[in-house]
Structure 1
Amino acid sequence: MTKEKLKENKNNKYTILLPTYNERENLPIIIWLIVKYMDESNFDYEIIIIDDGSPDGTLEIAKKLQSLYGEQKILLRPREKKLGLGTAYIHGIKHATGNFIVIMDADLSHHPKFIPEFIKKQKTGDYDIVTGSRYIGDGGVYGWDFKRKLVSRGANFLTQTLLRPGVSDLTGSFRLYKKDVLETLIQSCVSKGYVFQMEMCIRARQHNFSIAEVPISFVDRVYGESKLGGSEIFQFAKALLYLFATT
């Protein structure tokens, strides 16, 4: 890597937000992978773990990881109880020192190897947002049964038809944001749960923020149970109608 490239990498800092709830098995692996790929690329970064009162001991594991990797690299910003994905990002960004924010799941469904690709893509056009897409190029979903794939595709198709956001994968949650852009979008959004990701893209369109996409492979969680249930699907449908009526 050239001196110019090293200098460019050091001029930017990337804060990776990891909301967790019952992820004690997955957390050590995802942290190891993030450190591996970020260190290999010589990026300046920090990881903020936002645990929502996990009863399985996730926070205790996080503390051990902080001891292993150092307090400068691993920051712990826990909350007392489960308060929703959107508010977890709001909480995490308050403590972020990076000028770019990466949001991703901690359950190994998002592979950290794509983060350097997000960063590379962002630099090509100084994009405000880079989002991972399961529905372009060689992107895809692995480990889902037919029913879940059908629900995901159906929700995405319905959203595309009603809202026309210009993004192929609205319900994904693996993204890179400029920090000030993310702060603006968070202030604009009213959703707090899983619908938060979808609304972020719609609000980005309203603010004329530039968005690029990178194909990603989404792999169903290895350990633990999915948090997606009937209540989240109902929230999605309700929010979709709200956004259709107000945007």
Structure 2
Amino acid sequence: MKISVIIPVYNAEKFVTQAVESALQFDEVHEVILIEDQSPDNALQICEQLVEKYNRVKLYQHPDKGNHGAGPTRNLGIEKSTGDFIAFLDADDYYLPNRFDAEKELFKKSEVEGVYGALGVHYYSEKAREQYYPVFGDKLTTVYKKHNPKEVFPGQIFMLGAFGLFSIDALTIRKDALIQKMNPLFKSSLRLHQDTEFLFRLSFYLDLHPGILDKAVAMRGVHENNRITMVDAKKINPATTRILLWKEVDDWAKNEKTIPDHIKLHINRIYRSFQIANAPAPKKWGMILKNLISDYQSIRSGVYNINFRNSLF
């Protein structure tokens, strides 16, 4: 195996060395690709030092040296990669020694196009633990049981939290399958949740197989300045970002001819449920009435209730 590990770097001077060295522990890692995204701190200098120190580390920036966000930054890393397999790692996260144990066996089968595992949680400070333990606890981010690849996409859509989640840090993909079947790759239209949208589409187009699900293969670093941590802890309004996420998923589903109609309808219901849940009160009740008339089945099924039961009053 020749694995290219892609690390977008933004405001991560304190963490990127640990991330890089956690990837370099594996002989299977052919290269670690750092894409520096105009960090406001000293991350670029740290990356340059890592390139000097380790011959498997490569460093790139966007052609305009600007800040483009995690999606386009990962896309540039994929473009620059030379390995047969792609793995991702956020600059404030790190791999554990078992990261590629399942992959080494599963990728012997040509039909396996991707493998996903479980992600753990590491608090970088007592302050971070105190603030965010109620959000994350010590729980694994994982799919709760092993599924056939054909069940992964509908399981995420129909079962939502009951299916579980897999993280981009715990995902490994065959590069040729990714390039052939995914267009676009990460979308530049989303500054947050672009990895979630990517994983939905990926699980539709590629056969993704379960790896190690009952223990962590990588660790998510939780600290005070992590943008997605602030969203999950509601320091950034999660409503707006999730509406944008589901709008992208809904637009894609409408235009993808091979998605069955009942799945398209369900995705649209989820999108509308987020819109209703976060609308101002007068508009909310108008939207509910409209949907009672036009789509009573989804109201009755409880799709909307999942998302806004607690926000109606």
Q: Which TM bucket (shorter chain)?
A: 0.7 to 0.9
Q: Percent identity?
A: 18
Could you say if the C-alpha distance between residues 85 and 25 of structure 1 is closer, same or farther in structure 2, counting changes exceeding 3 Å? same
Task: Describe the superposition over 1:105-148 as per-residue Cα deviations: whole angstroms up to 9, x where unpaired.
Answer: 1113x3242432252253254421112334xxxxx445463542
- Structure 1: tracts of 5 or more residues without a match: 1-11, 135-139
Task: Give, in whole Å, the separation in 1 of the partners of 2:47 and 2:186.
Answer: 29
Q: Secondary structure at the match of 1:214?
A: coil
1:16·1:103 contact (CA, 8 Å) conserved in 2? yes
Name the CA distance, whole Å, in 2 between partners of 1:160 and 1:149.
Answer: 22
1:123 is matched with 107
Distance across 1 between alignment mates of 2:113 and 2:239? 29
Partner AA of 1:98 in structure 2: G
1:61 aligns with 2:46: yes
TM alignment of 1:162-241, pairs within 5 A: 162-164=157-159, 168-170=164-166, 172-183=168-179, 184-187=181-184, 190=187, 192-215=190-213, 216=216, 219-221=219-221, 225-228=225-228, 229=231, 230=236, 234-241=240-247
The answer as to whether partners of 2:113 and 2:207 remain within 8 angstroms in 1 is yes
Are the aligned partners of 1:19 and 1:85 in contact in 2 as well (CA < 8 Å)?
Answer: yes
State the Cα distance separating 1:29 from its structure 2 match: 2.0
CA distance in 2, matches of 1:43, 1:76: 19
* Contact persistence 2:99–2:217 (CA under 8 A): no
Shift of 1:43: 2.2
| Corresponding residue of 2:308 | none
Q: Which has the larger radius of gyration?
A: 2
Which has the higher relative contact order, 1 or 2, with Cα contacts under 8 A spaced 6 or more apart? 1
- Aligned-pair distance for 1:227? 1.6
CA distance in 1, matches of 2:186, 2:159: 18
Q: Which residue of 2 aligns with 1:75?
A: 58
Amino acid aligned to 1:210: L
| Alpha-carbon distance between aligned partners in 1 of 2:217 and 2:198, rounded to the nearest angstrom | 21
CA contact 2:170–2:217 (8 Å) conserved in 1: no
Q: Is the 8 A contact 2:156 2:164 kept in 1?
A: no
Change (3 A) 1:208 1:55: closer
For residue 20 of structure 2, what is the aligned residue in structure 1?
Answer: 31
Note if contact 2:177-2:206 (Cα within 8 Å) is conserved in structure 1.
no
Aligned to 1:47: 32
Q: Structure 2: give runs of 5+ residues left out of the alignment.
A: 124-128, 144-153, 254-263, 265-313
1:174-197 deviations in Å (ceiling 9; x for gaps): 311111233232526545433222
Distance 1:49 1:241 in 2: 30
Quote the Cα distance in structure 2 between the aligned partners of 1:220 and 1:210.
21
2:210 is matched by which residue type in structure 1?
A: A
TM-score (normalizing by structure 1): 0.73
